[in-house]
Amino acid sequence: MMNFIQRIGKSLMFPIATLPAAALLLRLGQPDLLNIPLIAAAGDGIIGNLALIFAIGIAMGFAHDNSGGAALAGAVGFLVLTSALKAVDESINMGVFGGIISGIVAGVLYNRFYNIKLPDFLAFFGGRRFVPIVTAAAMTALAGVLFFAWPPIQSVIDSIGNWVLGAGTLGVGAYGFLNRLLIPTGLHHVINTVVWFDFGSFTDASGEVVKGEINRFLKGDPTAGPFLSGFFPIMMFGLPAACLAMYAAAKKEKKAIVGGMLFSIAFTSFLTGITEPIEFAFMFLSPVLYVVHALLTGASMIVSYMFDVHHGFGFSAGAIDYVLNYGLAQNPLTLLVIGLVFGVIYFVVFYFLIVKLDLKTPGREDDEDLVEDTAVYSDDIVEVKAYHTIEALGGLDNIQAIDYCTTRLRLTVKDSDVVNEKELKRYGAMGYMKISKTNVQVVIGTAVEFLAEAMKRRMTNGNPAPKTEESMELDTQPHNVKALPESDFHMPIDGDIIDLSEVPDDVFAKEMMGPGFGIMPKGKTIHSPIDGKVVSVFPTNHAIGLETDTGVEVLIHVGLDTVKLNGKGFELLVENGQLIQRGDALLNIDLDYIKANAPSVVTPVIFTNVEKANLHILKKGFQRKGTDSIVKVDE
């Protein structure tokens, strides 16, 4: 669970990078400063859409390959969620929380479905394209649940908001605590709305009646401010000091990287009072610190209240608002002293907790910490093979996607030229087949599933070297069960399937060579029905022997007595020992010539090393080339 939450935090670092500059633009463009709507709106484009940006960033960070497909799914998910909720209940406002949920759902669904295969007529919607679709469906369902679940939560928070208003010192403290604690859920807006825009009323000199802390303070109400003042010490001093503590506690080699980030988000908070960049930078990486931060905010509110400080802001509690509203404030200098004290407290408490509890703040994460909680990394043989297979394929950088069928890894790579075939074979591969510059297959055998899953896990955690390799006996013998699932045998050529007993040649009809079936061919080319290799071609090219990756032998004998044609009418397209996959062209045949010169064109397909009882013929009659579920071989 902790790892899961930390992954959210780590994913957020990418979008957080955009925030400091946006915050500055937003603040500087306000009417009370430069008054340039263009600049303010540009900044607000980012700050105001934090939820959407987080949805995209988290989805991308969660996807095992950081795919743009996941990012799109995150955006789609968030848009669906907010639009659906808005349609049923305008008052539901989930803020950033909606974005975080959407991002997580999209990322998790991406890892689950990115390689899904749909039936042929839906194939366009398969794979990565399926992810935004399924995310949209999931978010629609979730919106239905939240429609019922969220309003009660909102109303609880709303009543807490009303309670704090009349609860004096305790209420002020509780407000500060909840205001921060609720930020990740978006519910702080509910409580803020009550306090800032609805609490109390004041009639100013011109007779205008205003409500809420912020409005009353700006109109000169001397009683306004207890729910605002305490934010200044936190935003101007406390959080920047927390950044300093995180910098001090960062690993030496990472200090330079996180230093620039921490400095800019600290400065943003100090100047503008926009704290989200800091808070989201550590709230998920170390939730403990975030609770401490919320408690200290409550304390700051209480202390400021007790020292009778009244200061406020129209925007947020940063240095700009501090200076602009200085004239309206009461005891503003006391606030600076409180701020400095809180700065020291933040630094000491954060630094102590980070080091003592080994919290994973920015610059302290172990990459290995982010593996799935459920994945137990036993250094078993599969891990060793997975590690070396990835390395032999050119490392994580070269591998774009890992897929597999019954016996083979099917990989998309950046450059197949860097693949080291020798190394692959050293660590258990039975064969290697380069399909194109970006597609390769590695023949592993029926254990491929375990290897592929191990490799996929390793894609997300940096492929750490296994520890116990030296002492391990590498068993590279394939453990093949002589079996063939129906999905792994495709019709080699258009034609009618007939019983072997109908083939007018006793060698085949009496199954002297083994069980099988006959094809009355109607095409020009025999294609490989299986993934495997060519094990025998005959000097006269009229028959071809194949062996599947699982060790099942398939003999395709074109026509009867065709050995006497001495090669005429046949053109062989492969050579002995060559690796092949389903659909590869093997042999061109001249049916007219064969018909004219041999007793029959019937083409027996014989499973020469399979017991009759284990072979099941599943289809009869005319079948198109490439059709699957023709036969099945049991163990």
Partner 1 sequence: MEKKTYTITSSEGLHARPCSMLVSAVTPFKSEVTITYKERTANLKSIMGVMGMGIESGAQVEITADGADESEAIAKVDDIMKKESIGE
| Residue 35 zone, left/alpha/beta (φ > 0; ψ -120 to 50; rest) | left
Q: What phi-psi label fits residue 151: left (phi over 0), alpha (psi between -120 and 50 degrees) or beta?
A: alpha
The candidate with the shortest Cα–Cα distance to 96, out of 153, 46, 26, is: 46
Select 80 or 537, whichever has its Cβ closest to partner 1. 537
Contact partners, residue 34, CB within 8 Å, separation at least 6: 28
Q: From edge to edge, which strands make up the β-sheet containing 495-499?
A: 579-580, 532-537, 543-548, 553-557, 603-606, 516-521, 495-499, 621-623
Dihedral of alpha carbons 266, 272, 278, 279, sign: positive
**Closest distance to partner 1 from the beta carbon of 575 (Å):** 12
| Helix, strand, or coil (residue 9) | helix
Question: Are the C-beta atoms of 226 and 241 separated by less than 8 Å?
Answer: no
293: annotated active-site residue = no
For residues 461 and 443, give the distance between their C-alpha atoms in angstroms, rounded to a whole number. Answer: 24
User: Cα separation of 486 and 489, whole Å?
Assistant: 6
From the CB of 537, what's the least distance to partner 1, in Å? 8
The residue among 158, 110, 156, 168 whose CA lies nearest residue 134 is 110
DSSP string for residues in 134-165? HHHHHHHHHHHHHHHHHHHHHHHHHHHHHHHH
Of the pair 472, 535, the CB lying nearest partner 1 is at 535
Residues 6 or more apart whose Cβ sits within 8 Å of residue 220: 204, 205, 328
Say how many residues make up the chain.
Answer: 635
- Residue 86 or 564 with smaller CB distance to partner 1: 564
542 in Cβ contact with 557 (< 8 Å) = yes
Q: Which is nearer to partner 1, 488 or 547 (CB)?
A: 547
**185 vs 608 by CB, closer to partner 1:** 608
* 405, 490, 527, 542: the active-site residue: 405
Q: How far is the CB of 569 from partner 1 (least distance, A)?
A: 16
Q: For residues 384 and 543, which CB has a smaller minimum distance to partner 1 in the complex?
A: 543
* Residue 459 or 484 having the CB closest to partner 1: 484
What burial class does residue 222 get, using C-beta atoms within 10 Å of its C-beta: 0-12 exposed, 13-18 middle, 19+ buried?
A: exposed
Query: How far, rounded to the nearest angstrom, does the alpha carbon of residue 430 sit from its chain's CA centroid?
Result: 32
Chain mean position to CA 403: 16
The smaller minimum CB distance to partner 1, of residues 445 and 545, is found at 545
Largest CA distance in the chain: 115
Is 188 marked active-site?
no
**Count of C-beta atoms within a 10 Å radius of residue 304:** 29
Give the β-pairing of 399-404 and 209-211. unpaired
Task: Name the site residues for partner 1 (rule: CB under 8 A).
Answer: 507-508, 512-514, 535-539, 543, 545, 547, 553, 555, 557, 563-564, 576, 608-609
With respect to partner 1, which residue has the nearer C-beta, 243 or 537?
537
In angstroms, what is the minimal distance from the CB of 544 to partner 1?
Answer: 10
- Say which residues have a Cβ less than 8 Å from residue 365's Cβ, sequence separation at least 6: 6, 10, 285
Distance from chain centroid for Cα 371: 13
Which residues participate in catalysis according to the annotation? 405, 557
